[in-house]
Amino acid sequence: MCTNTRVGKSVTVVDIGSGSMKISVFKVSDDGSVGTVSHMARGFRLCPKIGTNISDRKMRMTVGFLKNAIALSKSNNSEKIVAVATQAAREAPNFTDLQKMILNELGINLRTISGEQEARLSAISARKITKLDEFVSFDLGCGSVEVVEFKKKVKGAWSLPVSSLTLSQTCNLKSAEAVVANAFDALKFHDNSIAKYPLLGSGGILRVAALMINGKTRNTVSLDELQSLFDTIKDKTKDEMVALGVPKVRADIFAYGLLIMLKLTEKVGSKEVAIVHGNLRLSLAFDFFGMLK
């Protein structure tokens, strides 16, 4: 007889990212595992540039999207809606106006989490999924990249001052390469033998890259495959990249995201990236169910 008091419970988690809005409903199964029972996503840039205000139109669109969270929560008998926002919201001068609008109209408390918190949470869920005791993980979003060194526990967590969106707006690829390399040079891992650690990655650009490389979802991509894809698309226009399979919403930032992944893979000394589905939303679900440790 199962004695797990969490079995059957569910929570709805919302992530308002820099490049997308996502809702996932998680439920604890009979075996004690946590699975997704409903999901909704929309490509969406909260701000045109990191550090700028959220427009009235984007605020209304965010409120409209969050109404879906309420509907999904009710249909799945969720106990709570947990809503967080990341880099674009952290840097938006008028984010509190959006918070107040959402709280007043929907009763949802949307909060920001720091880049370091984002990194740590994602790494802990990756640990629960992979069961690995040692790894380096990264989560590449539109507005930031988070990196974690994990050895039985989080040894270092960084939210780096490079993003595919900002780079695409301020640099060409050649100059961006130096900016990214300098940012990763500042990473000081605790273990000198970090190259032996598996490299775990998550984020939409990585998933799109894996699909383009192999034509189907896969669990790993090699450094050589990422480099070959980068070489193929680096001189392409946005329309040409869309024709090759890059989603339109990511076409202007895709090459920059690949560049970030390549430079990080080289920094770690890894030959491949293992794609994990551990992410911020799943981590927040684990936290709600008291299962993070």
112, 84 contact by CB (below 8 A): yes
Helices 95-106 and 56-75: crossing angle in degrees, nearest 10, is 40
Look up tokens 């891992």; give the residue.
Answer: 189
- Reported as a single tens digit per residue, the pLDDT across 224-261 is 999 999 999 999 999 999 999 999 989 999 999 999 99
Q: State pLDDT tens for residues 126-152.
A: 888 889 999 999 999 898 899 999 999
Residues with Cβ within 8 Å of 252's Cβ and at least 6 positions away in sequence, in order, are 168, 238
Q: Give domain 122-275's CATH number out of 3.40.50.300, 3.20.20.120, 2.60.120.20, 3.30.420.150.
A: 3.30.420.150
Q: Does the structure show a pLDDT above 90 at 214?
A: no
Report the pLDDT value the prediction gives residue 160, as an integer from 0 to 100.
Answer: 86
Range(s) within the chain of domains with CATH label 3.30.420.150? 122-275
Q: Please tell me the predicted confidence (pLDDT) of residue 279.
A: 78
In this model, does residue 217 exceed pLDDT 80?
no
The confidence band for 189, taking pLDDT boundaries of 50, 70 and 90, is very high
Lowest mean pLDDT, pick from 46-55, 70-79, 274-283? 274-283
Which top CATH class is 10-112?
alpha beta
Is residue 5's pLDDT more than 80? no
- Comparing 103 with 214, the larger pLDDT belongs to 103
Position 278 confidence tier, pLDDT thresholds 50, 70, 90: low
- Rounded to whole angstroms, how far apart are CA atoms 39 and 20? 13
Strand partners, 134: 151
Q: CA 146, CA 116: separation in Å to the nearest integer?
A: 7
Tokens of 91: 């840097």
Task: Supply the DSSP symbol for 273.
Answer: E
- What integer pLDDT is reported at residue 255 of this predicted model? 97
Which amino acid makes up residue 243? Answer: A
Relative to beta strand 220-222, strand 34-43 is unpaired
pLDDT digits (tens, 9 = 90+) for 111-127: 999 988 888 888 888 88
Which is higher by pLDDT, 32 or 92? 92
Q: What is the pLDDT of residue 116?
A: 87
Quote the CA–CA distance of 270 and 14 in Å, as a whole number: 32
Q: Is the pLDDT of residue 57 over 60?
A: yes
Cβ neighbours of 42 (radius 10 Å): 13
1 band by pLDDT with thresholds 50, 70 and 90 = very low
Instruction: Report the pLDDT value the prediction gives residue 2, as an integer from 0 to 100.
Output: 46
Q: Where in the chain is the domain with CATH 3.30.420.40?
A: 10-112
- Three-class SS of 199-259: EEEECHHHHHHHHHHHCCCCCEEEHHHHHHHHHHHCCCCHHHHHHHCCCHHHCCCHHHHHH
The amino acid at residue 252 is D
pLDDT digits (tens, 9 = 90+) for 11-49: 999 999 999 999 999 999 998 889 999 999 998 999 999
SS (H, E, C) 26-90: EEECCCCCEEEEEEEEEECCCCCCCCCCCCHHHHHHHHHHHHHHHHHHHHCCCCCEEEEECHHHH
CB 72 within 8 A of CB 12: yes
Per the CB < 8 A criterion, the answer to whether 211 and 225 are in contact is no
Side-chain half-sphere CA neighbours of 116 within 13 A = 5
